[in-house]
Chains A and B, each alone.
Chain A
């Protein structure tokens, strides 16, 4: 009987702990905000004008957005620019490119930095203007913008040989809310 006391104590502790935590915490684990499908805009992948890259495959994009590629072909280090959590543009990138939710994405980068495979975490910016400025200023940067937010200061790359203005382009983002 004394031999059973230890395991029983551990088991009881486990049940109590998990039950208490289950009740106490609303699972905040990231769920991907589902973009609403109404009148969609295309989401352009943008790089610096000085970046020679013109086209990226979806697989390459995924590797880049997951930090598995750290350098452009010209040798510059890739700096990933993400918008803040909750933005529909970010949700589209996580869903369609990374195929992860917010929590998985954060854990992926945390783990990647921990193992040393990922050189640097994404830079998070609040607004399309910020993304555009950052991409303009940092030659190795890559980010994303709605087509309506594009201007001549950045370059939209083609994805699987299709530009953001082409039919069949894969990345779509719902319109901005009116608020």
Chain B
């Protein structure tokens, strides 16, 4: 049942509202009649609600009556679609609607009571509300909406011009009366709801008309973001990409590749809690530290992110689940969507674990983040604790410990960054990550990852710079394996075109205990991104990668990335 509320202009002394259950109506007949009636007699402001006409108010004043506007501010008072139509519609409705018949005695009693309180001719005999539920197909009512909108636009302009100035005191009195009447309407609705056990969903709470003039109870009347069980909580967005790729490596072929199909789902569980997830379908084998697992052309499904976030204030947010580890900048700025990224792919340093990456890109655990009171400096912190990467099991197993940690020791990460007001788009920060790896049959290895970044990101320009150092220190061995890496990326947008350049470097020892396959990789990438529309980007990228002890790789990729 729609919670109907009624607001009208100062000359309205009384009003009676009946909510007629549309289950008893023949929508086509009613709409046809209303369309013809409204087009002839409509003379007041009318506004159409967001999707469907949920509430129509009729009065029996006939074609001669105009609803003088209260003034420019009276618009605050209008709540739902308001029409003036002839009494013919009322009689028609009453003749076909049994619900109306049931409610008519109550309406008459109210009308009589109001007439006694306000003697004198009533400018409006009665008002009725007709609810049209969402069961009506949009295509059925669209022509009517069109007619109504055209009429309303014209008539609204006329009305505003003719509007007399309202007496403030009278307005206040009438507003009080309206509040009382609304309360009575609610009583009637409540009584009807009790009589009918199955009711349609209620009207959106936010569309309640404010009782202007009563400043104090606003907070009580306010109904912000209250959970509505009739509302769909999930919001979904999709991302995808398709790539044509080729290079000069042996055994590689020029191929069309389906990239990641990413279903990004969010939900406002409550005002403080939010859910976020990325469900990714991706084809091809996994590549974990150089070891290939799986078949070439099969698809798999990964829950890449699944986070429940509690937001207490700007200074404290807590997220639990599987998230992107706050190492450096790129890993938390870009997730599983190439459409967001300027280039066709992530820098090698931040490549995903199952695509040969060397960082623990994903963590299952808890992450606290927020603002540090620092004025114009804009300092932020991120503190994380999680399972860390798998190490005891064979390296080719799933590197992210989604369900079971292979040891009690937890990984920690702390990141600090600043976004100063003085330079728009600038972010500077560093992070430190610590974990203890326990490969089978070898000493434990302490893993420390230091990262620093300085990025300038503006809508038309970006300059990303990051440097990392991955340190692996096996227990009982004096040697520490340092793997440094960095990348710099520059791009500028010219209209729909965005040329870009990236240079990346990573140098791992050939005796590195965790990722011995990486070695030295360095080289530039050049590319052009073309935004064919707001949601589709075409990218052409050339990569040159020099490898230690192997021929350099020249690669070319053409990618279409999109969101939907």
A→B interface (CB under 8 Å)? 3, 5-7, 9-11, 13-14, 17-18, 21-22, 25, 27-30, 48-50, 59, 68-71, 75-77, 79, 99-101, 103-104, 106-108, 110-111, 113-116, 119-120, 127-129, 132-134, 136-141, 148-149, 151-153
Contacts and interface: CB of A to CB of B under 8 A. Distances in A.
A49 B246 contact: no
Contacts of A111: 340
Interface string B257-281: 0000000101010011010100000
Interface residues of B, number: 70
Q: Main SS of chain B's interface residues?
A: mixed
B558 A138 contact: no
24 contacts: A7-B554, A10-B556, A17-B560, A21-B530, A22-B496, A27-B531, A28-B534, A29-B495, A48-B222, A50-B218, A59-B376, A59-B421, A79-B225, A100-B459, A116-B274, A116-B309, A116-B319, A119-B311, A133-B209, A137-B222, A137-B223, A138-B224, A152-B213, A152-B215
Contacts of B532: 21, 25
Contact of B459 (A11, A17, A104, A120): A104
Contact of B314 (A11, A48, A70, A134): A70
Given A50-B218, A128-B75, 15 more contacts: A10-B245, A11-B556, A13-B244, A29-B534, A48-B218, A59-B376, A70-B314, A77-B311, A127-B47, A129-B75, A129-B76, A136-B76, A137-B221, A139-B218, A151-B212
B453 to A, nearest CB: 15
Interface of B: 47, 72-73, 75-76, 78, 206-210, 212-213, 215, 218-219, 221-225, 237, 244-248, 253-254, 264, 266, 268, 271-272, 274, 276, 307, 309, 311-314, 319, 323, 332-333, 335, 337, 340, 376, 419, 421, 424, 459, 495-496, 528, 530-534, 538, 540, 554, 556-558, 560, 563
Nearest to A12: B558
Contacts, number: 155
Contacts of A116: 274, 276, 307, 309, 319, 323
A31 to B, nearest CB: 10
B208 A114 contact: no
A7 B247 CA distance: 7
B556 A115 contact: no
Contacts of B319: 116
Contacts of B335: 114-115
A10 to B, nearest CB: 5
B462 to A, nearest CB: 12
Contacts of A137: 206, 208, 210, 221-224
A138 B224 CA distance: 5
Listed from nearest, the 4 A-B pairs whose CB atoms lie closest are A6-B254, A6-B246, A129-B75, A104-B459
A7 B510 CA distance: 31
B499 to A, nearest CB: 12
A129 B244 CA distance: 51
A75 B316 CA distance: 11
A18 B534 contact: no
